[in-house]
Amino acid sequence: MKGHPGYWAFLVHRVSGVLLTLFLPAHFIALGSALEGAAALDGFLAWTALPAVKFAEWGIVVLLAAHLAGGLRVLLLEFLPWRDWQKTLAALAAAASLGVGLAFALALAV
């Protein structure tokens, strides 16, 4: 059922997983720049200071938190019987994901 909170939790978990998978090649390219020497790494690090990149970093942290929370939810579904309180857990997982993202954004601002 598309309006059910469990559906949205499922969707966030799957979408965050796909987006994190798409991020991995960029991460490996960044790590590879360190192997090319200090100048290449310094150039990459200068690029990461751009506001759009900082915002993307915040997005990655939110995606990681959402995917972790969704994975824990799936584990609970596997091992516990379904109850109405699990809707509350899905909402708490979403709130925790956004809270982690906010904490990261505040840390970047300092």
pLDDT single digits (tens) 2-18: 777 788 888 888 999 99
Residues in contact with 91: Cβ distance below 8 Å, sequence separation at least 6, in sequence order: 5
Rounded Cα distance between 23 and 32, Å, is 14
Instruction: Quote the percentage of the chain above a pLDDT of 70.
Output: 98
Q: Which domain holds residue 73?
A: 5-109
> Do 62 and 97 touch, CB atoms closer than 8 A?
yes
Q: Which residue has the higher pLDDT, 1 or 69?
A: 69
Tally of domains in the chain: 1
pLDDT score of 54 more than 70: yes
- Mean pLDDT (the chain) is 85
**The domain spanning residue 61 has which CATH number?**
1.20.1300.10
pLDDT score of 82 more than 70: no
Burial class (CB in 10 A: 0-12, 13-18, 19+), 82: exposed
What amino acid is encoded at 47 in this protein? W
pLDDT at site 100: 87
Closest CA to 67 of 2, 6, 12: 12
pLDDT at site 51: 92
